[in-house]
A and B are shown apart, each in its own frame.
Chain A
Amino acid sequence: MKTCRLIIFTAVLTIALCLSFGNMAHAAKPVVLGCPLSTAFLYGWDAERGFKLAVEEINASGGVKVAGQKRPFKVEVIDTRDLEPGVPVSEALLAVEKLILDKKADFILGGPVRSEAALAAMPLLSKYKKVSILTTGVLTPKYHALVAKQYDKFKYCFRIHGEAKNLVGEMFANFTELKEKHGFNNLFIIAQDVSHARGAAKVMNSVATKKGWNVTGVEIYPTGATDFSIGLLKAKKTKSEIINIWMDMPESAILLKQWYEMRIPALPFGSTLAAAEQPGFWKATGGKGEFTLCNVVNAGNAPSNATPWTMKFYNAYAKKWGVEPEGLGTSSSYMAVYVLRDAIERAGSLDPDKVVAELEKTDIMGVYGRLRFDPKSHQVIPATDPQEGAVGSILQWQAGKRVVVYPKSIATGSIQLPPWMKK
């Protein structure tokens, strides 16, 4: 009887010890990832889900090794609301400061999401020496230009997703193809009245003119506009063949529905076209969004086989959240946690200067290709081949599916024209 009790006691003790050792990483003080995100909007919640998935995977494998000790990651999210009309920058800054001072964030990941707010947060990150990796929204080239210009001040700021200039280049690669294939030459630009979109529209206009395109018009719509008929009629009247859209507000769905209802003979080609990025777009528009093209910034935000990790991430995300990766901040947010873990482990410390030095040396194959930062500007290095750098992703809605049409190295289909545009 005594022997039996002893065996049971030993077994229980062994199991308890195993469990406690197994959970040691979780018992250790967590490394806090402060995430200032506009959570009510696509570019906020997709990033949050990306972070949480990566953190769950990393914590399940023991966490991040800091100075020989395994520690778990912990995600703290504060709503910045900076994607709302009026761009309340002050609220976003408060969120960042609260994450640093109140939530004791060791690192800042994600946002602020709106370019204006992210630029305004840079001095704050310098003041508190907080390493930040932007993963969603913010496309303005000013961000990494500022890092390059004032490196000592802004060296804590990184961006792991593509930026506007890169997106412009990707779109022109497609425009050139459309020109060669269908003889397109007239481009109409529609943008939202926010920093990155206005800037991008200006760049598009200038680059298009230099490349021999006829820019037939530029319309800037205020955030919250609900009628785009006049702009669309202008595009039709000027015989535009492509409507380049820079708009992340929800009302962009109205624009696309109007385009379809009015049978405007110009291909809607968007960037940060949030409404069309979501997998639910097809159902929401009753199929009226067919043929819409949009740049989802990085691979992994739409289905492709950019790297062996792409579909693994894609499926894991879909399994955990019950929806496919949705917006432009999904794969980059997911990868930011892995990249940070890699840098922390190499640095062997949470010291911001040491982590910055290691982030600059980052070179890992991720969901959207080889991830490296430019050591001067801290911008992720883009490429059209995933073996060379971070690849983008342009998708087109075709028969209810998001088909990747660019870059060619990962494309799963080619651009289709709506029936009313076929000659």
Chain B
Amino acid sequence: MQILIYGTINSVALALFALGFAMVYGVSRLPNFAHGALYVLSGFITWTLINSLGLNYLISIVLAMIATGIIGALIYQFVLIRIRGMEISEIMASYAMGLAILEGLRWGGFKGMTYTLPAFIEGSTSIAGVSVDYQRLLVVGIGAAVVALLWLFTRYTRIGLALRGMAQDERAAMMLGIDSDLMAVVAMGFGSMLAALAAICLLPLGNIVVEAGYNVLILAIAVCIVGGLGSWVGAVLSAFLIGFAQILTVVYLGAHFQMVVALLAIILTLILKPSGLFGRQKELEERV
């Protein structure tokens, strides 16, 4: 039972880490290596709004998500748009932006282990004899809601449909009058907001530290590569695959090997099926 409960929690956390990354890549083919940094940044923005400006927690969350979304969009508009299509440059530039954000936070004095966000609901319960806290259960609920809303958004809203159109075939989308650059900016903004949402759900479980940015990035990349770059459904399924594999590893092999799972998943996927479970990139090359 503990494997089922904590496997699900871990999987949803991984899905939350990865959804923003998958969305940006899906729409604009941009591997956003600043994703982890935006995750951490949103945590510190929320913390500052609550502790320095004394704002209400809920208002702080909303403002932090909007601010992170705007920062993501600005990064795209002023930095990444100039090198769009040059994949190596995109990786380097976005990683540099991420580094600048993380090191800037550190330079600004955001170091140490005392930056925390309050849990939405305090306390814990027991499910079939397994103790689990309410915040983690809430994470599962929010994760499920996000996936559902994302599905509805991309099918029943104009912007969502435009994003899907871009993800499916950029040239065809442009012929239908969809502004490719604008949609890429929107995707980056939404992707960054999803990173912020993940941070706001998961950071109350521990503390906000700069180093988390690197871990989140690695996990998001692992999930997206296994699921197939650009596939949101693939990202969710892969999150469950890696999430449960990690928990099974901790239970049967030891926690020591936990991080190996994600890295091993990347290597195996790249060897056996480079396009991932649901990815279309390189499919043609694989067939050839």
Contact = CB atoms under 8 A, between A and B. Distances in A.
Nearest to A228: B255
A258 B206 CA distance: 9
Given A229-B6, A253-B206, A262 B255 contact: no
Given A41-B111, A231-B250, A284-B115, A226 B215 contact: yes
Contacts of B212: 224, 226
Contacts of A286: 116, 118, 122
Interface string A83-101: 0110000000000000000
B10 interface: yes
A228 B131 CA distance: 12
A198 B2 CA distance: 26
Given A231-B250, A278-B114, A250 B211 contact: yes
Nearest to A262: B131
Interface in B31-84: none
B112 interface: yes
Nearest to A256: B206
**B9, B115, B206, B256: residue with the most chain A Cβ atoms closer than 10 Å:** B206
B215 A275 contact: no
B259 A222 contact: yes
**B2, B118, B211, B251: residue with the most chain A Cβ atoms closer than 10 Å:** B211
A274 interface: yes
A283 interface: yes
A254 B207 contact: yes
A42 B112 contact: yes
A230 B2 contact: yes
A8 to B, nearest CB: 48
Nearest to B5: A229
Contacts of A281: 113-114
A264 B210 CA distance: 29
A239 to B, nearest CB: 14
A280 interface: yes
Given A85-B211, A227-B10, A275-B207, A193 B112 contact: no
A275 B256 contact: no
A231 B255 contact: yes
Nearest to A231: B255
A78 interface: no
Contact of A257 (B13, B206, B211): B206
Contacts of A264: 131
A230 B250 contact: yes
B255 to A, nearest CB: 5
A254 B215 CA distance: 15
A84 B212 CA distance: 11
Interface in B245-284: 247, 250-251, 254-256, 258-259
Interface of B: 2, 6, 9-10, 13, 106, 111-116, 118, 122-124, 130-133, 135, 202, 205-207, 209-212, 214-215, 247, 250-251, 254-256, 258-259
A-B CB proximity, top 8 nearest: A254-B206, A280-B114, A261-B133, A262-B131, A284-B114, A220-B256, A250-B209, A222-B259
Given A222-B255, A224-B212, A254-B205, 14 more contacts: A42-B112, A219-B254, A221-B256, A227-B6, A227-B9, A229-B9, A230-B6, A230-B255, A231-B250, A252-B113, A253-B207, A263-B124, A278-B112, A280-B113
Interface of A: 40-42, 45, 84-85, 193, 219-222, 224-231, 233, 236, 250-254, 257-258, 261-264, 274-275, 278, 280-281, 283-286
28 contacts: A45-B111, A85-B215, A220-B254, A222-B255, A224-B211, A224-B212, A224-B215, A225-B259, A226-B202, A233-B130, A236-B131, A250-B113, A250-B206, A251-B206, A253-B113, A257-B206, A261-B124, A261-B133, A261-B135, A262-B124, A264-B131, A275-B113, A278-B114, A280-B113, A280-B114, A283-B114, A285-B116, A286-B118
